[in-house]
């Protein structure tokens, strides 16, 4: 039997970290087993579903490269099918029309809460045969009254629910549209889903869904309820608790493989290994190894994982997102160093593409002024002689590659009889405006000869003016 998993988000907001992880687990499991991964958009709530949200989900999944093998299916396009199944259940007496008003149900709920009972529909319309004038009925599923339902969950183990705890849930609203717990069952059945991998918050829905499967004469799929991701406050991660849209992570310069790596380690591990390529995740991941306890989202670790992936990344792999960062930060990369070379130099020193772009601005644009602290410390009269000699040596330099430039700096330092640091730091501040940059030879190479000389002149003039030294 081929494994078929699915990711079934509802387009009512952005796609956040929690959703991404269940999508990842489903995708990984399908890939690991050579199965199929289905994408389904659960948009039966017409009030809250939007076209934009659908697009955001699709864009997010594409960016993450969690490609689906089938779909996206839209529930709104399957209305006829749901209606057909509802009619069938009604005809077979497995569902019935309920004429209770919202007011009545609210009162019932309130009363039950007051009596310290679990709020649930009491089945008062179960035996009703006559319509009630003026009330459009909803359709309720006739849940078994006795016995138990066993959920044999892959990550939770066996969980038993008492049917007496469950009530007759609404499967069709007064306007005839079907509701979640029902459409999920019809879809998972029609789409041949073998493994439902979803958030822990659905565990309580599962016995109801299993009962509907049985009423339809079908065997339910296997279930795997994965633990939730909690925010720093220990509460379920949601928009209010710092759950950012996936695309937000793209904007902040995270790599999709790093985000996925971080997420896969939340609730799953393979010995002491922290960094996984996508290939390794596919090979090693098994839904049965997911642990059952909830975990807390830790932005610091995500940053570290991203840094690790950035170090290993190939230019081709990140080029698109890197260009996106430059554009986003208003940096025109059309004139300046080769991006590939820049990336290779910078990738080991930054944690995100956003940082990488920000720290690379000086290779494309002139800086407005020297960083005050850096200038005060390094652009002093004592540095003048060294900078002048460097200016002269570099002006005559033909081979503008890092190794040769390194030689130039080293020999000037030797001539001067100073340690490299004494010369390199003033030079760094002179050409970048700050005390922080890649190694000085790589910095010069990336800057190019023209920019380097120009900035050296400017720095020399700056010191002369400041120290009131007569130019020579």
Partner RNA sequence: GUCCCCAUCGUCUAGUCGGCCUAGGACACCGCCCUUUCAAGGCGGCAACACGGGUUCGAAUCCCGUUGGGGACGCCA
Residues forming the active site: 239
Query: How many CB atoms lie under 10 A from the CB of residue 372?
Result: 8
Pick the closer one to RNA by CB: 34 or 234.
234
Pick the closer one to RNA by CB: 120 or 464.
120
Q: Of the listed pieces 118-126, 216-224, 446-454, 455-463, which binds RNA according to CB under 7 A?
A: 118-126
Q: By the 8 A CB rule, do 36 and 3 touch?
A: yes
The C-alpha atoms of residue 215 and residue 195 are separated, in whole angstroms, by 20
Pick the closer one to RNA by CB: 35 or 178.
178
**Span between the terminal Cα atoms of the chain, in Å:** 85
Which 8-state DSSP code applies to residue 162? E
Q: By the 8 A CB rule, do 350 and 430 touch?
A: no
Pick the closer one to RNA by CB: 35 or 149.
149
Among 67, 152, 165, 457, binds RNA (CB under 7 A): 165
Residue 119 CB, nearest distance to RNA (Å)? Answer: 4
Among 55, 77, 277, 296, binds RNA (CB under 7 A): 296
What region does 147 belong to: left with phi over 0, alpha with psi -120 to 50, or beta? left
Query: Is 200 an interacting residue with respect to RNA (CB under 7 A)?
Result: yes
Could you tell me which of 173, 87, 96 has the C-alpha nearest to residue 130? 96
Pick the closer one to RNA by CB: 116 or 279.
116
Q: Of the listed pieces 25-33, 229-237, 280-288, 335-343, which binds RNA according to CB under 7 A?
A: 229-237
Pick the closer one to RNA by CB: 90 or 464.
90
Residue 2 CB, nearest distance to RNA (Å)? Answer: 25
Q: Restricting to residues 171-190, which ones interact with RNA according to CB under 7 A? A: 173-175, 179-181
Q: By the 8 A CB rule, do 167 and 126 touch?
A: no
Query: How many CB atoms lie under 10 A from the CB of residue 173?
Result: 14
Q: Restricting to residues 14-73, which ones interact with RNA according to CB under 7 A? A: 42, 44-45, 48
Residue 379 CB, nearest distance to RNA (Å)? Answer: 14
Half-sphere exposure of 425 (CA within 13 A, CB side): 16
Query: Is 12 an interacting residue with respect to RNA (CB under 7 A)?
Result: yes
Torsion of CA 265, 245, 323, 399, to 10 degrees: -40
Query: How many CB atoms lie under 10 A from the CB of residue 60?
Result: 24
The C-alpha atoms of residue 358 and residue 434 are separated, in whole angstroms, by 13
Query: Is 163 an interacting residue with respect to RNA (CB under 7 A)?
Result: no
Token code pair at residue 128: 């009703």
Among 130, 272, 320, 399, binds RNA (CB under 7 A): 272
Query: How many CB atoms lie under 10 A from the CB of residue 48?
Result: 11
Query: Is 142 an interacting residue with respect to RNA (CB under 7 A)?
Result: no
Provide the mask over 409-448, with x wherever binding to RNA is found by CB under 7 A and - wherever it is not.
----------xxx--xx--x------xxxxxxx-------
Token code pair at residue 164: 């007496």
Q: Restricting to residues 363-382, which ones interact with RNA according to CB under 7 A? A: none
Among 76, 205, 248, 404, binds RNA (CB under 7 A): 205
Q: Of the listed pieces 66-74, 80-88, 289-297, 379-387, which binds RNA according to CB under 7 A?
A: 289-297
Pick the closer one to RNA by CB: 59 or 167.
167
Query: Is 304 an interacting residue with respect to RNA (CB under 7 A)?
Result: yes
Give 308-356 as a DSSP string: HHHHH--HHHHHHHHHHHHHHTT---SSSS-HHHHHHHHTTT-SSHHHH
Q: Restricting to residues 341-360, which ones interact with RNA according to CB under 7 A? A: 348-350
Among 21, 31, 265, 451, binds RNA (CB under 7 A): 265
Residue 381 CB, nearest distance to RNA (Å)? Answer: 20
Q: Restricting to residues 231-260, which ones interact with RNA according to CB under 7 A? A: 234-236
Could you tell me which of 200, 193, 110 has the C-alpha nearest to residue 151? 200
The C-alpha atoms of residue 240 and residue 248 are separated, in whole angstroms, by 15
Query: Is 261 an interacting residue with respect to RNA (CB under 7 A)?
Result: no
Count the residues of the shown chain that bind RNA, applying the rule CB under 7 A.
85
């Amino acid at each position: 039997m081929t494994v078929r998993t699915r990711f079934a988000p509802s387009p009512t907001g952005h796609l956040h970290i929690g959703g991404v992880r269940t999508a990842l687990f489903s995708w990984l499991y399908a890939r690991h087993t050579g199965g199929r991964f289905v994408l389904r958009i659960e948009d039966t709530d017409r009030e809250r579903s939007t076209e934009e949200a659908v697009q955001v989900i699709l864009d997010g999944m594409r960016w993450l490269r969690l490609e689906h093998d089938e779909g996206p299916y839209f529930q709104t396009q399957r209305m006829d099918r749901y209606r057909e199944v509802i009619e069938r259940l009604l005809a077979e007496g497995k569902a019935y029309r309920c004429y209770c008003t919202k007011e009545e149900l609210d009162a019932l709920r309130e009363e039950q809460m007051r009596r310290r009972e679990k709020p649930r529909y009491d089945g008062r319309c179960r035996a009703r045969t006559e319509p009630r004038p003026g009330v459009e009925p909803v359709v309720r599923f006739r849940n078994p009254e006795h016995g138990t339902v066993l959920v044999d969950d892959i990550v939770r183990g066996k969980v038993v629910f008492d049917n007496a705890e469950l009530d007759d849930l609404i499967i069709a609203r007064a306007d005839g549209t079907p509701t979640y717990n029902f459409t999920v069952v019809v879809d998972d059945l029609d789409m041949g889903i073998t493994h439902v991998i979803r958030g822990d918050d659905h565990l309580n829905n599962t016995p109801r869904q299993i009962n509907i499967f049985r009423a339809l004469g079908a065997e339910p799929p296997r279930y795997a309820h994965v633990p939730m991701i909690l925010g720093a406050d220990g509460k379920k991660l949601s928009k209010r608790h710092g759950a950012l849209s996936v695309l937000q992570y793209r904007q902040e310069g995270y790599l999709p493989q790093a985000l996925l790596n971080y997420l896969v380690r939340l609730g799953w591990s393979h010995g002491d290994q922290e960094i996984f390529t996508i290939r390794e995740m596919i090979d090693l991941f098994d839904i049965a190894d997911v642990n059952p306890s909830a975990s807390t989202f830790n932005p610091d670790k995500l940053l570290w994982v991203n840094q690790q992936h950035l170090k290993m990344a190939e230019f081709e792999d990140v080029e698109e997102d890197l260009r996106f960062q430059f554009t986003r930060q208003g940096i025109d990369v059309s004139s300046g160093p080769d991006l590939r070379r820049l990336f290779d130099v910078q990738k080991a020193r930054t944690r995100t593409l956003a940082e990488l772009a920000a720290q690379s601005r000086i290779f494309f644009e002139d800086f407005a002024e020297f960083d005050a602290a850096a200038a005060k410390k390094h652009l002093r009269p004592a540095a003048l002689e060294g900078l002048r000699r460097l200016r002269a040596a570099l002006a005559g330099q033909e081979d503008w590659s890092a190794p040769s430039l390194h030689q130039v700096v080293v020999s000037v330092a030797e001539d001067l009889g100073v340690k490299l640091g004494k010369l390199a730091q003033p030079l760094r501040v002179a050409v970048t405006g700050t005390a922080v940059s890649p190694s000085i030879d790589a910095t010069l190479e990336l800057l190019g000869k023209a920019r380097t000389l120009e900035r050296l002149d400017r720095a020399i003039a700056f010191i002369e003016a400041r120290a009131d030294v007569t130019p020579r």
